[in-house]
A and B are shown apart, each in its own frame.
Chain A
Amino acid sequence: VLTQSPATLSLSPGERATLSCRASQSVTSNYLAWFQQKPGQAPRLLMYRTSNRATGIPDRFTGSGSGTEFTLTISGLDPEDVAVYYCHQAGTSPRTFGQGTRVEIK
């Protein structure tokens, strides 16, 4: 089970957003990914294997962590970052998603 916190994050433009994902057991080989989903759109891969940015993802998105604790940091929040963010573990089957963190702009 992946538990994300907080459920909702409301910040001003330019602030740093810190999203947490906690696993109920250690994620094999740190195979933890992050997705961004904007309203009405399919999810988009941001990070894979904890800290590797997917193609085209700006470097203000940073992933970190290991074992059971993982973090996605968005440095310098931009209005285009308004979305729901999901963590996803791909280390063991069945793969699972967290319940999501909604990021809003004040």
Chain B
Amino acid sequence: QITLKESGPTLVSPTETLTVTCSLSGFSLSTPKVGVGWVRQPPGKALEWLGLIYWDDDKRYSPSLKSRLTITKGPSESQVVLTLTNVDPADTGTYYCAHTEGSVSYVPDVWGPGISVSVSS
């Protein structure tokens, strides 16, 4: 059974760096045609696609965040890390990681429960 779970701080100060870790279970990001995507949702608003890392370490980012956003594998094989630098209150929201694979056209098919992050001084 594929599961994912996000972990990290729930409160971050403006200008600091947000780091959210996604722990993977039931699959490996080393398997061909597999990926992990990130999506966030400001309170009461729509979903926003952030980025995606593929099994071969290829990555795609939202252009609006590309200069501040990094998605990496590790530190363990069953983890993916999202790093967002110089955060602003507009970065407040629930951050989700999700499994994806080629058979579903690389859309998020299994989601973590999400982690709620507030950016405030």
Interface residues of A (CB under 8 A from B): 29, 31, 33, 35, 37, 42-45, 48-49, 52, 54-55, 86, 88, 90, 93-100
User: On chain B, which size bracket covers the interface?
Assistant: 20 to 34
Of the A-B pairs whose beta carbons lie under 8 Å apart in the complex, a sample of 30, sorted by A's number, is A29-B105, A31-B107, A33-B104, A33-B105, A33-B107, A42-B112, A42-B113, A43-B111, A45-B108, A48-B105, A49-B104, A52-B104, A86-B46, A86-B47, A88-B47, A88-B49, A88-B107, A90-B106, A90-B107, A93-B60, A94-B49, A94-B61, A94-B63, A95-B52, A95-B60, A96-B49, A97-B39, A97-B46, A97-B47, A100-B46
Q: A42-B96, A43-B111 are known contacts. Are A98 and B46 too (CB-CB below 8 A)?
A: yes
Identity of the chain A residue whose Cβ is nearest the Cβ of B113 in the assembled complex: A42
Instruction: Write the nearest CB–CB distance from B6 to chain A, whole angstroms.
Output: 10
A contact residues around B111 at 8 Å (CB): 42-44
Known: A29-B105, A48-B107. 8 other contacts (CB 8 A): A31-B105, A31-B107, A42-B111, A45-B107, A45-B110, A88-B47, A97-B49, A98-B46
